[in-house]
Structure 1
Amino acid sequence: MGFVSNDYAVWLNGQNVTSRLDPLLTSIKATRAADAAADTCDISLADADGRIALPGERAPVLVFINGARVFSGFVSDVTASFGKGEGRTIDVSASSVQNGSKVTEPVLRSADNLSFTDAAKQWGEKAGLSVTVAGSIASVTRPYWIMQNESFMSWGQRMAREIGASFKILGSEAYFVGVNEGISGSGKTLTPIDAVYGDNLISGSISPIISRPKFKNVEISYFDVQKGRRVNVPVETGIDDVDTALRTVISAADEAEAKQKAQAIGKQSDREKGGGSVVILGAEYAEPEAICNIRGVRPGVDGGYRIASVTHELTKSGGFLSTLDIKQPQGGAGTDTR
């Protein structure tokens, strides 16, 4: 193709429109983040004579780079920009969540004595979604679940924070997976990414050590009816270089829920102990929750990091690049043994 050396394809409303867009396309940017329920995509087109018809609202969009699907979703916004000396452009924004569907409809629901997997699948089905739950969170159970005038999307985001999960909606499918467990939040196989200085690593800024309040234990309380008093439930975070505890004002319904919430906070604390971002030559298979291995930068920085988000960008000026936001240093990162 004449755009860049990397192969790409754009499908709109079930039709391959790549050949029509190719002369006008200036950039494609697709972003997937572990802590965001929706993937996003922005397609920028030159629009000097207005010859491209505007896509319809919620029209299905598929984007492939080098044969790999990097985005699947629906048109959400179309913006025309123009000005003297600037020319005219059309920017098409898309989201993996279909706005206006039952996924975003607020409802009131409750269920007793179900596993999180069963509750998520039942309520997801009512919203038109097929739900997959994977990792340690699959066995989470509670005596009572409630959707408090929330949409399934809002409930899923709240549950992800409470039980330590990554939540993703991709069209008619939804995924809940345990964070920091090496499981893809989009159903794809996770491939470790090597970012090597002098090879595919273009630029970056990494803080392998971030000194912020951190805790060896997290304590959340619940009211024990039999004992007639509040009980604190301590959970280790996995951070061993401090001897402090975070005693939160968050309360839980019972001991099991208190442990779940404390473990979720602990996972997040461990995840935030270092991080940064790197730009590498395009890696269409890069996914959040995979490990990025930094090599050749310097001792203490080199090592493994958890990928938190990925942005694939294809441009006429720069070709195909991937920006990785990385967290949770491991494998020697953060320690200079010299």
Structure 2
Amino acid sequence: MTTGYTPIYRVFKGGEDITGRLNDRTLQIRVDLQSGNGNDDQCTILIDDRDWRVARPLTGETLQIWLGYQEVGLAYMGSFEIDDVTFLGPPRNIKLVGKSTGATDIQKAPTIREFDNKSVSDILGQMAQQTGLGLSISGDLGALKIPFKNQVVSNLHMIHELERMTGAVAKVVDGKLMFAKRDGGETTSGVALPTLVLQPEHFGTWQVRYTSKPGYGEVKASWFDKDEMVRKWVGSPVTSGDGGVGLAKKFGGAFNIGQLFNSEAEAKAAAGSQAENLKRAEVQAVFDLAKGDPWIRDQQTLIVTGMRDGINGSYVIDKVTHTYIKSTGIKSQMECKLPGDGADYAEASKEFMRPGPGETLGEYLRTHPNVKRDDLTQRDIDAIAEGGFTTNP
């Protein structure tokens, strides 16, 4: 097992490899991979402009970024459109900030239209087509019917409204609108993802926080029954995530969603989604890895073991930040939440990935051929470039 790694990166601009031009200039590359909720994947690059000889970067340019190690390979971070260029000094630096390609193209102006008995896939497909985006959506989510929806907001707002109602992750990745079940442990194509298992030696620092908030035993949502001309309510229980002590048992009241939905199906979906959100909010964990691991992705399922109760357990990675720093190497930080459905991943009948001490997930993938590339997909864990691992930037 490899214990020492040489950090590397690769940057393409408009299909051209510009890594060689940046090797003496790149001070830092930071990539934030986020699980929707209105947040886009983002990159921040800090360039040394000490002699003012760097060609002026322009907003609108597209960069593709990889991070990794010479001895292992490169992990694809994504394609980003630069929407902010800042010249700094002293010292003379240039900071580039970009969002996932296509994320800024979604219409943000209000639109008035009606969707009558359309599926989520139909609605999102129309919005993606209007913007020129591709669409990748989980089958169960896409088939959900919306009897009637009156849109008076922007496409962006509508997408996130559907995200909250259905308990999905909506985000734009490489020019494609992704819509997948939150905490589902699957890709948008329905392929199950292996769960990552980490032990104390994998972590640099950690923080697991339990917050005492008023607990709810149930989430209720209402819908209008057009046949009986009355408002009706449906409910979804909130399960406790603190070993049975249960803030929900302490309070026991209901969380009522103020919005009136058009159908019982919509109301049930919204109540279930909000119940899962309340559970996720019970525990928040931040794990800094001892060795940066750019193969780890947002929405990846995680088991922490070998530590104490209160830290050990099942998590879902809500956000992961990978940072290449010229002077120190690669750092990775994971912001995690509880699974919304209360799942114990240790009991799940799925494959587990168990990197050894000092081993990155990329090295594990390379040395364990039983983990197939098709089980991971490019965005979830794209450790393998076309034709195999890339070991030179």
Q: Secondary structure at the match of 2:152?
A: strand
TM-score (ref. length: structure 1): 0.87
Q: Are the structure 2 counterparts of residues 178 and 11 from structure 1 closer, same or farther at C-alpha, using a change threshold of 3 Å? A: same
Deviates most, 218-227 or 320-329: 218-227
2:278 to 269, 276, 279: 269
Report matched runs for 1:169-188 at 5 Å. Answer: 169-184=172-187
Deviation of the 1:116 alpha carbon? 0.6
Higher RCO, 1 vs 2 (CA within 8 Å, ≥6 residues apart): 2
For residues 201 and 98 of structure 1, the distance between their equivalents in structure 2, rounded to whole angstroms, comes to: 34
1:202 to 201, 204, 229: 204
Is structure 2 residue 79 aligned with structure 1 residue 78?
Answer: no
Q: Report what 1:140 is aligned to.
A: 144
Q: Are the structure 2 counterparts of residues 31 and 135 from structure 1 closer, same or farther at C-alpha, using a change threshold of 3 Å? A: farther
Matched-pair contact (CA < 8 Å) for 1:191–1:287: no
Q: Secondary structure at the match of 1:298?
A: coil
Deviates most, 15-24 or 99-108: 99-108
Unmatched tracts of structure 1, length 5 or more: 334-338
Q: Report what 1:231 is aligned to.
A: 232
Q: Report what 2:259 is aligned to.
A: 250
Amino acid at match of 1:234: G
Q: Report what 1:326 is aligned to.
A: 336
Amino acid at match of 1:113: N
Deviations 1:151-204 (A, max 9, x none): x3332122111221110112421111111211347999845333322x221111
Matched-pair contact (CA < 8 Å) for 1:300–1:332: no
Q: Among the aligned pairs, what percent are the same residue?
A: 23
Q: Secondary structure at the match of 1:216?
A: strand
Q: Are the structure 2 counterparts of residues 311 and 261 from structure 1 closer, same or farther at C-alpha, using a change threshold of 3 Å? A: same
Q: Report what 2:386 is aligned to.
A: none
For residues 106 and 28 of structure 1, the distance between their equivalents in structure 2, rounded to whole angstroms, comes to: 35
Q: Report what 1:221 is aligned to.
A: 222
Higher share of residues assigned strand: 1
Q: Report what 1:336 is aligned to.
A: none
RMSD (Å), alpha carbons: 2.5
For residues 25 and 312 of structure 1, the distance between their equivalents in structure 2, rounded to whole angstroms, comes to: 15
Q: Are the structure 2 counterparts of residues 32 and 313 from structure 1 closer, same or farther at C-alpha, using a change threshold of 3 Å? A: same
Report matched runs for 1:274-293 at 5 Å. Answer: 274-280=283-289, 281-293=291-303
Higher share of residues assigned helix: 2
For residues 75 and 283 of structure 2, the distance between their equivalents in structure 1, rounded to whole angstroms, comes to: 30
Deviation of the 1:135 alpha carbon? 5.6
Deviation of the 1:97 alpha carbon? 4.2
Deviation of the 1:108 alpha carbon? 3.0
Matched-pair contact (CA < 8 Å) for 1:27–1:313: yes
Deviation of the 1:305 alpha carbon? 0.9
Amino acid at match of 1:183: E
Unmatched tracts of structure 2, length 5 or more: 69-73, 347-393
Deviation of the 1:118 alpha carbon? 1.8
For residues 316 and 185 of structure 1, the distance between their equivalents in structure 2, rounded to whole angstroms, comes to: 35
Amino acid at match of 2:120: F
Q: Report what 2:44 is aligned to.
A: 42
Deviates most, 19-28 or 122-131: 122-131
Matched-pair contact (CA < 8 Å) for 1:40–1:96: yes
Amino acid at match of 1:143: P
Amino acid at match of 1:163: T
Matched-pair contact (CA < 8 Å) for 1:42–1:91: yes
Matched-pair contact (CA < 8 Å) for 1:33–1:309: yes
Count of residue pairs brought into register by the alignment: 324
Q: Are the structure 2 counterparts of residues 293 and 100 from structure 1 closer, same or farther at C-alpha, using a change threshold of 3 Å? A: closer
Deviations 1:200-250 (A, max 9, x none): 21111112x332223232111223333343221112233474243222322
Report matched runs for 1:67-106 at 5 Å. Answer: 67-83=74-90, 87-98=91-102, 101=105, 103-104=107-108, 106=110
